[in-house]
Amino acid sequence: MTKVIDFYADWCGPCKVMKPIFAELKEEYEGKVEFESIDVEENGSMASKYQVMSIPTFVILKDEKEVARRLGAMPKEAFKSWIEENK
Q: For position 60, which CATH number holds?
A: 3.40.30.10
Given the residues 5, 7, 8, 12, select the one marked as catalytic. Answer: 12
- Please check whether residue 74 is in contact with residue 25, taking contact to mean a CB–CB distance below 8 angstroms: no
Instruction: Indicate the average pLDDT of the chain.
Output: 97
How many angstroms separate the CA atoms of 56 and 87, rounded?
A: 20
pLDDT at 62: 96
- For residue 33, being part of any structural domain is answered with yes
In a domain, 53, yes or no: yes
pLDDT band at 82 (very low <50, low <70, confident <90, very high): very high
pLDDT tier, 8 (very low <50, low <70, confident <90, very high otherwise)? very high
Mean pLDDT of 25-44: 98
69-80 average pLDDT score = 98
87 is catalytic: no
Per the CB < 8 A criterion, the answer to whether 1 and 10 are in contact is: no
State mean pLDDT over 58-68: 97
| Domain region containing 28 | 2-82
- The one catalytic residue in 4, 15, 21, 25 is 15
Q: Is 62 a catalytic residue?
A: no
User: Residue 75: inside a domain, yes or no?
Assistant: yes
Q: Indicate the number of domains in the chain.
A: 1
Task: Let me know if residue 43 belongs to a domain.
Answer: yes
87 assigned to some structural domain: no
The β-bridge partners of 8 are 39
Q: What is the pLDDT of residue 56?
A: 98
Q: Cα(5)–Cα(58) distance, rounded to whole angstroms? A: 6
